[in-house]
Structure 1
């Protein structure tokens, strides 16, 4: 998490560099350097924010049993690809301008005049600038789309909400700033007023982004540390002392079963003492339960922030072969057993039953009369 936050911080520092460059008198070199600082800082800062929103969306939409985890290392690779693309674009822009300056005596500076008649030099706006600024707005709109798509995701420190506010603020203020500059400031605004406008714009975007992203984490972390310290002190205080006086057997009284006379009944005890004693017992039971759960549990990583051991993988093809082998073996066994009893007389499970010999006893005959 902090690796991507560091990229956001580095990008913000580069964006602040554009204000420092504008504090000097414009020249060809400064007119070439300022767009580099703007675009590289923009892609580092807001590209990292968009990638964080992308990770939140992917983890939220994963429907597999095994969650797809996007590591900071993967996000850095994506961010490096974005920086390379912007670097190539700015390199092409720089080479084109240098070629025009050398061959066609093209000047990146222009002379403007205010309404009071004051002349001043400023960097000339070209079509490359319009394309670049339009691309910035489109990238920010894509980031807003990602934040809207992951609106139901639950994140730590409510990070998704602050990321959405940051990127929406940049998109809104930059769009208004570009429109006002093209229609009004570009031709008639004094350079000092233009510098103040750019400074205010940088504070409303870059500074607000840093506050929205870093302040909540610092505040939540501080609250958790304070809560943990209070709970730990209370646990040590409650577990370090013995049972309350109300629970100790009195003189001449034996605390046994409730059937025995002389045992302390709950009705005679102070409700506050009972509540404190039960609370102390609940805390001790909770600590014991957590220790028991974590003791030699293979499902819980022992190192902080560690990943679980990869599950064993099996091949469906091998599983089918084993199933086919077992089924063929089972069929052979059934055929062999069936060949042992082919006739109903030899099978004890035949419907006709086993063949037996029944003794009917001696046969009786009726004498026949002689017929003549």
Structure 2
């Protein structure tokens, strides 16, 4: 909805890809980095204790964002000469080979996150299950939405594609925010008064 409001119609598809990829890299990059830090801190087979500082996590996240922005700039320059992409309005964007590459990048990143979740399954970290559900939910919903989107890319109506994008967004980001943040509110509001007794 913000794309329709801020972006001109001819740049809507480009802005949609940029916002999606930067948001994905920031949100799920932060989640996977937090899982990585937990895994490093709770390793029992290591002789020394590894501590991943906040400053290191920010560096890793900036590196992921730099990689994403570099890929987005290459995609934008490479698709500048594709008039079909620039004539269509979001969400009826023309599918390109780059979209498959972006979706494979997302899926590989989420599979890496699931691998880290599996390795951290025995830790007694409180948020482990929340991040595992968030990563798995994103992987399953995004894979299903992309398969549906690819199967109807030539015959799908713009309202159908918009509905798929909306449902994907709500089932991934909104639900994941609730999964991650709701238990924190529960712990603070319901368990804190009992700890004072």
Scaled by the length of structure 1, the TM-score of the pair is: 0.49
Residue 123 of structure 1, aligned match among 85, 93, 101: 93
Cα drift, residue 64 of structure 1: 5.5
Relative to structure 1, the CA distance from residue 224 to residue 65 in structure 2 (aligned partners, 3 Å threshold; closer, same or farther) is: farther
Check if 1:132 corresponds to 2:97: no
In 1, the alpha carbon distance for the partners of 2:46 and 2:103 equals 40
Residues 22 and 195 of structure 1 are in contact (CA less than 8 Å); yes or no, is this contact kept in structure 2?
no
> Secondary structure, in 3 states, of the residue corresponding to 2:92?
strand
1:67-216 pair list within 5 angstroms? 67-98=49-80, 100=81, 106-109=83-86, 122-155=92-125, 158-184=126-152, 186-216=153-183
- 1:224 is the counterpart of 2:187: no
Instruction: State the match for 1:52 in structure 2.
Output: 34
**Secondary structure in 2 aligned to 1:189?**
coil
Higher relative helix content: 2
- Describe how 1:229-268 pairs up with structure 2 within 5 A: 229=196, 231=197
User: How far, CA to CA, are the matches of 1:79 and 1:35 in structure 2?
Assistant: 19
Query: What secondary structure sits across from 2:49 in the alignment?
Result: coil
Q: What is the CA deviation profile of residues 227-257 of structure 1, one whole-angstrom value per residue up to 9, with x for unaligned ones?
A: 123x1xxxxxxxxxxxxxxxxxxxxxxxxxx
Instruction: Answer whether contact 1:26 1:122 (CA < 8 A) is retained.
Output: no
Q: Aligned residue for 1:339?
A: none
Kept after mapping to 2: 8 A contact 1:32/1:94 = yes
What is the alpha-carbon root mean square deviation over aligned residues? Answer: 2.3
Paired residues, number: 196
User: Which structure exhibits the higher relative contact order, with contacts defined as CA atoms closer than 8 Å and separated by 6 or more residues?
Assistant: 2
Q: Which runs of 5+ in 1 are unaligned?
A: 1-18, 112-120, 232-372
TM-score when normalising by structure 2: 0.90
Q: Report SS of the residue matched to 1:227.
A: helix
Query: Offset of 1:140 from its aligned partner?
Result: 0.5
Shift of 1:66: 5.5
The answer (yes or no) to whether the contact 1:62–1:68 under 8 Å persists in 2 is: no
Name the SS for the 2:42 alignment partner: helix
Larger radius of gyration: 1
